[in-house]
Amino acid sequence: MPESRPYHHGDLRSALLDSAERTLREKGVGSLSLRELARETGVSHAAPGRHFKDKQALLDALALAGYDRLAEVLAAAYDPALPLQPRLTALARAYLAFATENAELLALMYARKHEPEAAEQMAAGVDRSVGSLGRVIADAQRHGEVVEGDPERLTLFMGATLHGIAALTAGGLLDADEAFGMTEDLIHHLLHGLKPR
């Protein structure tokens, strides 16, 4: 740790990302400016330009990091020892928790990005997260606990439902506690359908 403010920051890139993530969480994307970020990090306003080609590149990097964390959270919540229904409930709750705790970040993750190479990595990030769901479906199909059919479609059906409540909750249209409270019910309907048996 150098005594005051050295000419070279050392790890400006990750310092900017950390600062940006905090601002995003506390004040929203609208209040995120490169100049303000530079000020907080004690660096000139032009310095961020060395590490991020433009503002969108920084936002893309934030979103990408978000996908990494989401994939971790889901992987951690995936417990193959659990029966199907609680296994899915745990995954749903994990996603919901991530969505409510990172509402602004989630919006960034699912926004249309402009930089084409970032979009590619974004898709890969989605795949990694959807992977946890896909494993559950494929595994359950093998045990005859889930209907036969294209596992990708089944996974997408399930993913869409989870993403739906998560997005509605993150957007403030659904109360977080309410969403958590109905997760079990939701998974039940997902498994048993709306039609009476």
The yes or no reply on residue 27 touching DNA (CB under 7 A) is no
Interface pick for a second copy out of 145, 175, 176, 177 (rule CB under 8 A) = 145
**What's the token pair of residue 109?**
């993750």
Query: Tokens 């403030």 identify what position?
Result: 172
Minimum CB–partner distance for residue 193 and a second copy (Å):
3
CA distance 37 to 27: 13
Q: Interface mask (CB under 8 A) for a second copy, residues 99-128, using x and -?
A: ----xx--x--xxx------x--xx--x--
Per CB under 7 A, does 43 bind DNA?
Answer: yes
In this chain, which of 18, 19, 29, 36 binds DNA, going by CB under 7 A?
36
Q: Two tokens at 90?
A: 């745990």
State the minimum distance, in angstroms, from the CB of residue 51 to DNA. 6
Report how far residue 16's alpha carbon sits from residue 67's, in angstroms, rounded to the nearest whole number. 18
Gap between the Cα atoms of 49 and 55, Å rounded? 9
Q: Residue 190, interface with a second copy (CB under 8 A)?
A: yes
Q: Which one-letter DSSP state was computed for residue 112?
A: P
Q: Does 10 bind DNA (CB under 7 A)?
A: yes
The nearest distance, CB 18 to DNA, in angstroms, is 14
- Taking CA atoms, 120 is separated from 14, 67, 116, in Å, by 22, 13, 7
Window 74-103: residues binding a second copy (CB under 8 A): 103
The three-state (H, E, C) secondary structure of 12-79, written as one string: HHHHHHHHHHHHHHHHCHHHCCHHHHHHHCCCCCCCHHHHCCCHHHHHHHHHHHHHHHHHHHHHHHCC
Out of 17, 20, 24, 34, point to the residue binding DNA (CB under 7 A). 34
Task: Note whether 14 binds DNA by CB under 7 A.
Answer: no
Q: Return residues touching DNA (CB under 7 A).
A: 7-10, 12, 32-36, 38, 43-47, 49-51, 53-56
Q: Return residues touching a second copy (CB under 8 A).
A: 28, 103-104, 107, 110-112, 119, 122-123, 126, 137, 140, 144-148, 153-154, 156-165, 167-168, 171-174, 182, 185-186, 189-197
